[in-house]
Every structure is written in structure tokens, then in C-alpha cells.
Amino acid sequence: MPPLRVRWLGQFEYERAWTLMRRLTDSRGAETDDELWLLEHPPVFTLGQAGLADHLLDPGPIPVVRCDRGGQVTYHGPGQLVAYLLLDLKRARLGVKRLVQLLEQAVIELLTDYGVEARSRADAPGVYVGDAKIASVGLRVRHGCSYHGIALNVDLDPAPFQRINPCGYPGLAITRLCDQVSDAAEDLGVKAVGDRLAQHLASLLHRRQDRLPPL
């Protein structure tokens, strides 16, 4: 299998990332490399293509973007690691359900590195610590290729989640990696956490990593 090309993008505006993901997906050929983009977004609520506006309780000054991923409404902001996986599913011999499982498993393994016990749920995509959600997942598949991905709460401000029904679930508890790690010496910078996530995801996909510059 070809390598997984990994890019760290830093803080990156949501709609620009979405445009570039679609552009890459639409221009792919059989030999196009798969990529993993690691980044943070400025504050934004995103509503999936079948998302219900009723789950936006009080967005206030935070912009709302209706996008083409699956799922309901979620929040992105600084301190949250976003991982966008641009993958040729046919070449990887993966279905959408299995890809979601692999994204969740990569986060679960990452959290285990930090001594945090986490799990997925059959009835609600994402990753949970106890009953609290720590990572959300939403994908789009077009021309047999995926984009969008998974978002892990590292140390973001959780207050905006109170303005929505997270992922369509009223009262869903939200947690962060920084709430779960007791060792103050751990490096919880979003980039450091992203490097670990890339390692786990590449391993689960049976790929080696190649690092690329930002877009």
C-alpha cells in the first residue's frame, strides 16, 4: 500500500479546509496518495447534511456552517484536534462502517497511551469516557473516497457545547483529554496529540507515514 501522507495545518479556517478536501477528492486518480490532515479550527458550529437545525439551541456569535458530512451538529474550536482522512476506500478495501471503527479505535488507542479508558458505542458514533463524549466522527464518501474525519477534545473551551444538542443528543455530557489526564508532565499540546493519533491510525491502516508541509 502507498504511504499515508500526513500534514499538520495548525489553525485552519473550516470552510477553506472543506473546499480543499472536496477539491482533492474530485481531482483524485488511481495513483493519488491518501492524506491525513491534522489541524484546529477557529470557533464554528457545523451541521451535517441531514442535521436538524432544532439542535442549534443558541449559536450566538459563533458561525454555523451546514456541510456535507454525516451526523448532526457539533462544535469545533481551538484546543480540539481535528483529523481529516482523505482515503481511497476501494484501494484500501474498506467500507464506511469499518473506516468509522478504525478512526474510533485510533482515538481509543491514543487515549490508552495517556492512561484514559475509552470506548465506542454501537448506537452513537464517536468515542466516550464513561458516558461523556470526548471525540465525534463524521464522514463523507464521494467517488469512492472519504473526507472529513474525527475531532478529539484536547483542551478546548467546552462552553459552546451548551449552545447545541451535541451530535443531536440533548444533555450529552462532553469531556476533554485534559480533564482525564492526571499527570501534569504529559504533553497535551494539540500537535503532540495529533502526532500520536497519526501513528495509531497509520498502524491500523497498515501504512507508513510520510510527512508533508502545510497546504
Positions marked catalytic? 167
Instruction: Cite the annotated binding site by residue number.
Output: 69-76, 136-138, 149-151
Which residue's entry shows cell 482515503? 87
E-strand ranges in 107-173 read: 119-120, 127-129, 132-142, 145-153
Instruction: Cite the annotated binding site for substrate by residue number.
Output: 69-76, 136-138, 149-151
